[in-house]
Structure 1
Amino acid sequence: MRVAVADIGTNSCHLLIAEARGSSYQVLDTLKERTRLGACLDEQRNITPEGERRLTEALKQFQELAHAAQVSEVRAYATSAMREAPNGKEVAARVSEASGVYPVMISGEREAQLTYLGAAHSVEFGADNLLLDLGGGSLELARGGPEQPDHVISLPLGSVRLHLTHLQKEPPGPRAVKALQQLVTKALEPHLGTFRVGSATRVFGSSGTFEAVGAAIAQRRGVLGVTEISVGGFSFEVSALGDLVRDLQKLTPAGRIRAGIDPRRADIIVAGAAILEAALRAVGAERATVSEGAMREGMVIEELAAQTHWESGLSARQRSAAALAERFMVSLPHARQVTALAQDLLSRLQRRGESFPEEAPSLLSAAAFLHEIGQSVSQSSHHKHSAYLIRHAGLRGFDPRQLELIAQIARYHRKSAPKSSHIEFQALSSIDREGVAKLTAILRVADGLDRTHSSQSQIVDLHREGGSWVLTVAGVTALDLAGAQDKSDVWRQVYGELKVEAAQGS
């Protein structure tokens, strides 16, 4: 199994393509694009057209690399800059349309959890660990055991953000840096009861800034084998970080470059280093270790774990469908999500009195998991290619009639509804035509609910109101809502009108 994940940050976007290797993974390719979204915000913190253009171009490149590595799509998570932008959802929709990658906006707490997971598989965590993750827009702290954090916070203390608000003058000088650090210390004070370190606490840092300051301190010491590219596992004293901050604040960006700072980071390194020093001193840390594992590594680990867990409970039929899906580069997260949504809809319809044959769950599951298999042939008319491959590519565990029903359910997941003028559909018995129509209606709505391929939608309720149905969904985007409503045409023919709405607070 191969996955491609992207971390859309305030300063840069990172792509990671990896392949499962037993209980771990092997990195196949990476790419970093310095999109600087944090510098592309207007006075209301809306993302500007230039920021949208930069993000679109980066995600197009990511998608191309993923396809070259035989991964069907990129799963992208967006952090501070996009989640705080009032127009973030609108930008995400347009970027998705232009690039084929939907940037899912996650909370700072979710970001911290994923980063902790990535770091835990990069460095040696102990029984009690504190991880600091500094991005361009926010600072996350996570504390916990060897695998999972017990406490996480996200604060608007990112390096790009505070550089723009506190350190516009070059060189910034000690007064401006002190004011910035006082802000950080004050913001952390309410949380020190949870995050103040003890004698046995291991302290780690994750981010490009943490790697940059680690490499700079190692260079000043003359430590061999450490560069900004390979600095994982290097430990330094907080006092050494303080010395670095006091030296850097006296220099212009050109002077910092001459001192060995990466030119691409020379403008924001003072803010980043000062934030880290203040945060580490606030929690009482004396030393910190650099972790190269970050949010994108956590995303890979989480996705591989989800796939492994899902596969462990499969029947022989489902394992055959999963193997076929992977063979033809189906997006496994999307396939799993659509299958889960379709099965949920089916069970809710049954509880509301709709009748289905005993084989319906198995047929629907296979069709849902394989509905996009035809994209390996061509995006155009891929629903027809899906039907052909289901019939002929060796799906096991079903008899010829069942294979035909699965093929037709998948074939009708988009475009035309089942029609008597379609030769294959007309050739079915009247009972099977009814079954295909009923399961097609479910699959179309389930597929629409994951139009963004973000795997976020969750069904809350399905009930009747008069002669119509009302479907309530949580975690849904505007695109997913529109997708489900647009694809409710067959549902309307089979079950009656359907209204799809977001749950309150979603």
Structure 2
Amino acid sequence: MTTQDMLATVDLGSNSFRLQICHNQNGHLQVIDSIKEMVRLAAGLDEQKNLDQDSQQRALDCLARFGERLRGFNPDQVRVVATNTFRVAKNISQFIPLAEARLGFPIDIIAGREEARLIYTGVVHTLPPKGENMLVIDIGGGSTEFVIGQDLQPAITESLNLGCVSYSMRFFPRGKIHHKNFQAAVNNARAEIQRISVALKNIGWHYAIGTSGSARSIRDVIAAGDTTIDAITATQMHKIANHIIAAGSTKKAKLEGLKSDRTEVFAGGLAVMIAAFAELNISEMTVTDAALRDGVFYDMIGRQLGDDMRNQTIADFQQRYHVDTIQAERVAGLAQMIFNHLSASVSPDHPEQWQQYVHWAALVHEIGLDISHTGFHKHAAYILDQADMPGFSRKEQHILATMVLGQRGDLRKIAEFSQQEMLWLGILSLRLAALFCRARQDIQIPVNHCDIHYDKQLRKLTISLSKERLKHNPLTDSVLLQESVLWQKIGLQLEIKAM
């Protein structure tokens, strides 16, 4: 067995970091190695939502160890996903480069609903199908995900900012627990869950599944007290809660079956789970070992087999925002041709990834027209940056949004990206493709009848067009000249030559 036969995922949670390596045997995953460290990243958030130095150092030390284990892996064999604490930390942009340097691989910060989808993907691939809707609840360190579905694609995904670490810190400082603060935690969680309860109940479910550490810990404590019970029930949870309250803390309660590394955050997770049972009228919940990392594995396999969720998301956005798909394909084809031509001169790493970004951006570059023709590129960029896009990380969404924002108008608004070479070439490719396809008619592809040269050192783009083409396309000629003026304003050169 070689490294090339393996896939690896890194789950950067708010409570723990996990590295798992699997051997992919035609879609069947065999776990080869697994490392878990309790980093408690969420515990390092101060009142301003900034990560303190101690929590950052704990994380960096852990990632350095993970990085050593991942030596020899190619980028397409590893996916690193980060969850709630990475989403909410105000200073995360300064931390990410340090973290990626220690780990050796890029980190994808995923949105809450994308986290929910991946959790569900892991569950649905590891449990036998029953042909009925299941409710999946995953209580993490900083967020809790709720998903309902029975097929590979869930019917609904939701994520709320309540977790075992955040609630333990907020309601049980220094570990002290009494009836008043425990009930306050439950009531607060119920109020949050109430925001989504109607939507969940309208869809409905036949059975409930719990995933991740909090659910497993609650089940283990229940099972330790009664070996005939292999599920979570409200009655058993209230017994545990009363025992903890009577003792004054989880540590003093000395719960049998509870691992020591879960002691500090157990009460927060228990309060959230009790709230979920009460608000959603859950009678019983079974627990699975499937989790986010499993979903990431199966998502990676799907991408390798051409079943990439991101393609479906782009198609859904086209339909939702009534995109002219013929025009989108026209622009996408030309944008990719221009990008391939430009990027060949800079020898980028993983050009196929950037080719895909250009293609996706072109397919949705006009979604803003459904809102307004004036400034539609700004509307489109906002949607791509802020909407839930299953399969896409936040970084990927930002890349698409930036390309779409730069498709027209003053370049000064995106001048800061001119130093990010591949992103900048993607912007230019989409911008030129949209310009050439402005008539919304099939055209002879310009790059077949012209020469495009990019000088990396001079940061100069030269487009040589035949005199005949310029003569028969005066509008294009005029717009290209206007483009050169816009480029000059940000210190770049665009030269149009007749040949």
> TM-score category by the smaller chain?
0.5 to 0.7
C-alpha deviation, 1:216, in angstroms: 1.1
Alpha-carbon distance change, 495 to 29 in structure 1, aligned in 2, over 3 angstroms: farther
Partner AA of 2:166 in structure 1? R
C-alpha deviation, 1:222, in angstroms: 2.4
Map 1:126-145; keep pairs closer than 5 Å: 126-145=131-150
- Greater displacement, 489-498 / 286-295: 489-498
SS in structure 1 at match of 2:303: helix
Partner AA of 1:202 in structure 2? Y
Query: Residue 406 of structure 1 aligns with which residue?
Result: none
The reply to whether residue 238 of structure 1 matches residue 234 of structure 2 is yes
The reply to whether residue 276 of structure 1 matches residue 220 of structure 2 is no
Map 1:75-474; keep pairs closer than 5 Å: 75-125=79-129, 126-168=131-173, 170-196=175-201, 201-223=206-228, 234-251=230-247, 252-257=249-254, 259-309=256-306, 347-348=334-335, 413=347, 457-458=399-400, 459-460=403-404
The CA distance in 2 between the partners of 1:199 and 1:414, in whole Å, is: 49
The CA distance in 2 between the partners of 1:117 and 1:132, in whole Å, is: 13
Partner AA of 2:195 in structure 1? P
Partner AA of 1:152 in structure 2? T
Contact 2:224 2:256 in 1 (8 A): no
Contact 2:15 2:165 in 1 (8 A): yes
Alpha-carbon distance change, 190 to 200 in structure 1, aligned in 2, over 3 angstroms: closer
SS in structure 2 at match of 1:186: helix
Alpha-carbon distance change, 170 to 464 in structure 1, aligned in 2, over 3 angstroms: closer
Alpha-carbon distance change, 197 to 265 in structure 1, aligned in 2, over 3 angstroms: farther
C-alpha deviation, 1:463, in angstroms: 5.5
SS in structure 1 at match of 2:145: strand
TM-score where L is the length of structure 2: 0.65
Give me the identity figure in percent: 21
C-alpha deviation, 1:278, in angstroms: 1.4
Structure 2 unaligned residues grouped into runs of 5+: 309-330, 359-392, 426-453, 464-483, 492-499
Partner AA of 1:64 in structure 2? E
Higher helix share: 2
C-alpha deviation, 1:483, in angstroms: 6.0
Contact 1:171 1:250 in 2 (8 A): no
Query: Residue 10 of structure 1 aligns with which residue?
Result: 14
Alpha-carbon distance change, 495 to 484 in structure 1, aligned in 2, over 3 angstroms: farther
TM-score where L is the length of structure 1: 0.64
SS in structure 1 at match of 2:108: strand
The CA distance in 2 between the partners of 1:199 and 1:348, in whole Å, is: 44
Structure 1 unaligned residues grouped into runs of 5+: 225-233, 312-343, 355-359, 369-408, 416-439, 501-506
The reply to whether residue 59 of structure 1 matches residue 63 of structure 2 is yes
Q: How many residues are aligned here? A: 375
C-alpha deviation, 1:170, in angstroms: 4.2
The CA distance in 2 between the partners of 1:31 and 1:472, in whole Å, is: 41
Alpha-carbon distance change, 80 to 453 in structure 1, aligned in 2, over 3 angstroms: closer
